[in-house]
Structure 1
Amino acid sequence: MIPTGTCVYLPALPADPPDAVEGALRLLRRENAGLLAVPHIPATRVASTAALERQLGAWQRASGDGVREVLIVRGDLNAHHGEVGATAGAPSRGLFGRSLDLLETGVLQRAGIHAVSLCGHPEGVGHLSAAGACEALVAKLQWAEAASVEARIVTQFCFSARATIAYAEQLRAAGVTAPLSVGVVGPCKAEIRTRMAERCGVTPPAGGESDHPDGALLNEHDWPSEYVRALAQWQRDGLAGASGHGVQALHLYPFGGLGSTLRWVEERLPGLMLPAQ
């Protein structure tokens, strides 16, 4: 049900065993080598450059030298709630205080990585406001351009169409032209959406409050179709009046199960599809 060439992002959760991503890479290589695995690297949890080099080498062996892109996150436990091992106010024990510090080492290029996904945060993250998070993102995009590394923006999920749209407009107004993949939670119960919002530091669903760009109410019982429809309407209107607007892809979070998310993609998404730019 997943088309060949689709990126499959492999998160690095604090409670996972050290070889969890390696296992996932071996599974993907064996079961569907046409999918593009994109492992997460939490920068502040990297103990040393040598440790990162060993990890990247293990990933390449597990994937048959197939990892060409990674997603770089800061990995601050205090930016999220409910993480195993999180301690309020605890400093990072890793070598890198920022994801940009890791990028600037050149270790990714030496390991055969040609592209990076960079996190976008429509509502800010941790101690950073949305504007502060945007400034940090722009700095990483400038690094990618100077280093001749392909970069795309992949956003944290957000339950507010207005906040997502405002963030995309802010990026484009700042001259950011990198491809933008918007994080969308797949079909799931309202209590799951609320719980994951609390865990990840995201504003919970509005519960019927008007959040559509034209003021219409989003239908709580048709999540995520109504949310995507609101984005699509904005994109159609924006593309009609200005170049540089737009979203290139959806980044799906299958909190309600992979099967139900893929069925939604197959059955509902074609009629809602955001126009390609």
Structure 2
Amino acid sequence: MHRTTALLHDLSVEVTARDRAAIARAGLAAGTRVSITHLGTETMQDRLDAAAAVRAAGLVPVPHVSARRLDDEQALRGALTGLREHGAHERVFVVGGDPRTPAGPYGSALDVIRSGLLAEHGVREVGLAGYPEGHPAIGDAELWESLAAKVAAVEEQGMTATVTSQFSFDADAVVAWITRVREAGVTAPVRVGVPGPAGIGRLLAFARRCGVGSSAGIVRKYGFSLTNLMGTATPDRFVADLAGRLDLAHHGEVHLHVYAFGDVAATAGWIAAAATRTLPIDAAEPA
């Protein structure tokens, strides 16, 4: 399998609950995994409705669980029970979440995993976060220690892990991070975060919020300029660069994870178009 084809195979998409009305008409391929974020401005019912919309569209829901937004154990049990009732419980993505102070007893994703409630409620696969360019509030050593501990805790409970990265403009940083993931003994599939088509100004605003590097050299290599914020940026050049650098034998199973940033239709359109451009991209790969 060509490296670009491997990246595009079994890719996933990330949306918010607000996108649920757009999911059915977006045209994503049947079976596509759709992550549903856990935002503080949305209710659990909003996320359940979004999960139902994802399933109704023939897609696979991957709802997020934000540890620090959970008030107590009952809140976690209630969320998992609701997901099970909607047939959206087998795959979840567990993250610490944005609040600095936990609302309840779960201060991290690891706390949620170690509670044992995921496996108890039928979860089979747990998504975990990765940060190729580091985290603005967490030190590098702590990030790597936490990732290893979370993967171990997931596997000890008979579930499987996947690692999904924050989006990046820098293929070099992503490849170096994947290499380090494998050197740390983590063999779980990796999903590399990429932004779907988005306005350049909006994309940079998300990058600043998430601590993603956006120096002039990096974004120019990605395909746009900091001095011209008009227009829309796509990840084509990044994906081609990433594909050219990956060694499947060394880097293991790697797929794309596309952040829709509120425009599911544009994201679905880019995915469909990227599939038709596989051979030209592969033809440019180094021998």
Q: Which residue of 2 aligns with 1:244?
A: 250
TM-score (norm 1): 0.82
Separation (CA, whole Å) in 1 of partners of 2:238 and 2:141 = 23
Task: Tell me the secondary structure at the aligned position of residue 19 of structure 1.
Answer: helix
Q: Which residue of 2 aligns with 1:157?
A: 167
What are the superposed Cα offsets for residues 52-72 of structure 1, whole Å, 9 maximum, x if unpaired? 1112112222x2x34201000
Q: 1:68 aligns with which of 90, 93, 98?
A: 90
Q: 1:268 aligns with which of 249, 274, 281?
A: 274
Separation (CA, whole Å) in 2 of partners of 1:27 and 1:68 = 16
Higher relative contact order (CA 8 A, sep 6+): 2
Give the deviation of 1:270 after TM superposition.
4.2
The runs of at least 4 consecutive aligned structure 1 residues that moved more than 4 Å come to: 272-275
The reply on whether 1:234 has 2:245 as its aligned counterpart is: yes
Q: Specify which structure has the higher proportion of helix.
A: 2
Give the deviation of 1:247 after TM superposition.
4.8
Q: 1:106 aligns with which of 116, 119, 144?
A: 116
Count how many residue pairs are aligned between Structure 1 and Structure 2: 248
The reply on whether 1:115 has 2:125 as its aligned counterpart is: yes
Q: Quickly say closer, same or farther: Cα 1:25–1:159, change in 2 above 3 A.
A: same
TM-score (norm 2): 0.79
Give the deviation of 1:98 after TM superposition.
1.6
Q: Quickly say closer, same or farther: Cα 1:203–1:247, change in 2 above 3 A.
A: farther
Q: Quickly say closer, same or farther: Cα 1:217–1:107, change in 2 above 3 A.
A: closer
Task: Tell me the secondary structure at the aligned position of residue 3 of structure 1.
Answer: coil
Q: Quickly say closer, same or farther: Cα 1:124–1:28, change in 2 above 3 A.
A: same
Q: 1:259 aligns with which of 252, 257, 265?
A: 265
Task: Tell me the secondary structure at the aligned position of residue 159 of structure 1.
Answer: coil
Aligned partner letter, 1:100: L
Q: 2:44 aligns with which of 15, 18, 22?
A: 18
Task: Tell me the secondary structure at the aligned position of residue 242 of structure 2.
Answer: helix
Give the fraction of aligned pairs with identical amino acids, expressed as a percent.
31
Q: Is the Cα–Cα contact under 8 Å of residues 123 and 130 in structure 1 kept in the other structure? A: no
Separation (CA, whole Å) in 2 of partners of 1:218 and 1:28 = 31
Give the deviation of 1:19 after TM superposition.
1.5
Q: Which piece of structure 1 moves more, 130-139 or 217-226?
A: 217-226
Separation (CA, whole Å) in 2 of partners of 1:107 and 1:252 = 28
Give the deviation of 1:93 after TM superposition.
2.5
Q: Which residue of 1 aligns with 2:154?
A: 144
Q: CA RMSD in A?
A: 2.2
The aligned runs of 1:30-69 (5 Å cut-off) are 31-32=56-57, 34-61=58-85, 63=86, 65-69=87-91
Q: 1:179 aligns with which of 186, 189, 197?
A: 189
Task: Tell me the secondary structure at the aligned position of residue 97 of structure 1.
Answer: coil
Task: Tell me the secondary structure at the aligned position of residue 40 of structure 1.
Answer: strand
Separation (CA, whole Å) in 2 of partners of 1:201 and 1:122 = 11
The aligned runs of 1:78-117 (5 Å cut-off) are 78=100, 91-117=101-127
Separation (CA, whole Å) in 2 of partners of 1:132 and 1:270 = 41
Separation (CA, whole Å) in 2 of partners of 1:203 and 1:272 = 27
Q: Is the Cα–Cα contact under 8 Å of residues 124 and 132 in structure 1 kept in the other structure? A: no
Q: Which piece of structure 1 moves more, 225-234 or 119-128?
A: 119-128
Separation (CA, whole Å) in 2 of partners of 1:39 and 1:194 = 26
